[in-house]
Amino acid sequence: MKKSPEKRIAALYPVLRDHFGFQHWWPGETRFEIVVGALLTQNCAWSNVEKAIANLKAAEALSLAAMRELPRERLESLIRPTGYFRQKADRLTRLLAFLADDLGWNGVSPLKRDTGKFRRELLALSGIGPETADSILCYGFGRKVFVVDAYTKRMLSRLPIAVADDYETIRALFERAICRELDGSLKAFKDLHAQIVMLGKHYCRKSTPRCEACPLFRARLCRRRRV
């Protein structure tokens, strides 16, 4: 009897959680910080995002109203450590304009908006792709959406699961796994992604694959594979 892909995905969770512990993600103190961090982390190391967040805090610009008041050059200089600072300043400005002007967000409250509609609107913004949109939805606004990232794809390629490499197929698979084989809670949506990032950072980096010590390899859930 062959295990379904959903069962295989779900089986990863207890192994990862036992190894890394519950992650309490997203690493951000406020909803606004999470939204900003989700955009700033695009193609850069989280340590660089932390520097930018620290800059914004020091400048007392880590709130919706304050950030929108910032001159463009000032915003660019504060987020500079995350790279692509001109693009990101532009993307951030457009995102905040959408949230505030179109949705009437005050920068703090949750939003009552249909998740599917909200997601399509975010994706229509320049610079908001599926991973950024889903990070904002899941961690920023508490929606049951699974975030697929580079680590998720890399991990999947090392598991005995045949699945297409496109974002939506993978997202749907993980969402079915969480809803059918785990408890389907928001906490599970958040923590499974967080666990995969931990796995990626410690054992699944491009340059330093350490399969022997990887908790999934030790639990015989992951096959050894040269990179």
Q: What are the residues binding DNA (CB under 7 A)?
A: 25-27, 37-38, 41-48, 51, 80-88, 125-133, 135, 139, 147, 149-151, 197, 200-201, 205-207
Least distance from C-beta 83 to DNA, angstroms? 2
Shortest CB 124 distance to DNA, Å: 8
Q: Quick check: 112 and 123 in contact, CB under 8 A?
A: no
SS (H, E, C) 71-139: CHHHHHHHHHHHCCHHHHHHHHHHHHHHHHHHCCCCCCCCCCCCHHHHHHHHHHCCCCCHHHHHHHHHH
Based on CB atoms, which residue is closest to DNA, 63 or 82?
A: 82
3-state secondary structure 6-31: HHHHHHHHHHHHHHHCCCCCCCCCCH
Q: By C-beta, is 37 or 107 nearer to DNA?
A: 37
Closest approach of DNA to the CB of residue 126, in Å: 5
* Shortest distance in whole angstroms from residue 4 CB to DNA: 25
Nearer to DNA, 94 or 113 (CB): 94
